[in-house]
Amino acid sequence: MKKRVALITWSGLPEGAESERLLLPHLAAANVEAQFVDWRSDCDYTKFDLVILRSCWNYHLHDAEFTAWLHSTASVVPLLNELETVLWNKNKFYLRELQEQGIEIAPTIFASAGQAIGTKERAQIESWKKVVIKPVVSASAHNTYLVDSSAFPATDELRLMMRGEAFLVQQFISEIQTEGEISFTYIDGRFSHAVRKKPAAGDFRVQQEHGGSAEAIKPSASLVEQVDAIAKAVPQVKRSLYCRIDIVERAGEPILMELELVEPEIYLTLAEGSEKRLAEAIVHRIF
């Protein structure tokens, strides 16, 4: 019996990203019909057996609308990743929870909406050479700033920059510019492949839309083991169809930058066989 899957995208990619298109022949061979759907378009999701978030890369610009869409869609059809996982992950305050579990993250100050940075926090910021300021709901480095700690904005300017929303202030990890960031892709809770991402000269953003580059790598067994430990410590990773774990390696150990469980680029085009692994995982979930 044929099954139907919606691969969720956005209006800028009506035919999905290249990684997603690689899935189609593998799904078709397993009697699964896949259709790309812009999450903001009118669609009857009851006609699908499964909805998978993939390249809905404008969700952070319409957070309230996206949250309502997630709830309404999940109420009529199974959603992957799961609703609770996506809601947890799209707010970057989840990093505080992981830090409390003993997972090393970039040193971070978490500021709620309307909260002023206090004297103690400012002293901590001033002890860092450079800092990154970013909203708690953001993607592709949107509204993200790198500033010298000596030029850290005053309260009113900071609220204007962050548009009155909650935000993070993080110590800038300099290895991003020298060694790059490593993204580990997990499929069904198991390590699949890794890529190294580097920013363009003079930039700090590793995303390709900002001039960054990405290449497949074979990380050391020790580093894979350490990132596996992070994956196993986070229940949301273990039960998800896909996850990207972004780390910076320092002295042979990972610093967690992000867990990406909403709609990450997972670089299927750079890792031979990875599209088949993801397609098989989808088929396993649907039959």
User: Is it the case that residue 208 has pLDDT exceeding 80?
Assistant: no
CA-based nearest residue to 67, from 80, 50, 84: 84
- Cβ neighbours of 43 (radius 10 Å): 16
The owner of tokens 């609220």 is 159
Confidence of residue 96 (pLDDT cuts 50, 70, 90): very high
SS3 8: strand
How large is the average pLDDT for residues 176-181? Answer: 93
The owner of tokens 């990380």 is 219
Look at residue 250 in the predicted model and tell me its pLDDT: 94
DSSP category for residue 91: S
Beta bridge partners of 80: 52
The percent of residues in the chain predicted with pLDDT above 90, rounded, is: 84
Query: Using one digit for the tens of pLDDT, what is the confidence trace for 47-78?
Result: 999 999 999 999 999 999 999 999 999 999 99
Query: Using one digit for the tens of pLDDT, what is the confidence trace for 233-256?
Result: 999 999 999 999 999 999 999 999
Average pLDDT, the chain: 94
Look at residue 209 in the predicted model and tell me its pLDDT: 73
**Cβ atoms of 182 and 246 closer than 8 Å:** yes
How large is the average pLDDT for residues 171-193? Answer: 96
Look at residue 188 in the predicted model and tell me its pLDDT: 97
**Cβ atoms of 260 and 95 closer than 8 Å:** no
SS3 235: helix
Looking at the chain, the domain(s) classified CATH 3.40.50.20 span: 3-89
**Could you tell me the sign of the dihedral formed by the alpha carbons of 283, 16, 177, 88, in that order?**
negative
Query: Using one digit for the tens of pLDDT, what is the confidence trace for 17-52?
Result: 999 999 999 999 999 999 999 999 999 999 999 999
Looking at the chain, the domain(s) classified CATH 3.30.470.20 span: 94-103+175-261
Assigned architecture for domain 94-103+175-261: 2-Layer Sandwich (3.30)
| Class of the CATH-defined domain 108-171 | alpha beta
User: Is it the case that residue 218 has pLDDT exceeding 80?
Assistant: yes
Look at residue 210 in the predicted model and tell me its pLDDT: 66
Q: Which CATH number fits domain 3-89: 3.40.50.720, 3.20.20.10, 3.10.290.10, 3.40.50.20?
A: 3.40.50.20
The owner of tokens 């867990």 is 259
Looking at the chain, the domain(s) classified CATH 3.30.1490 span: 108-171
What is the distance between the alpha carbons of residues 262 and 281, in angstroms, rounded to a whole number? 17
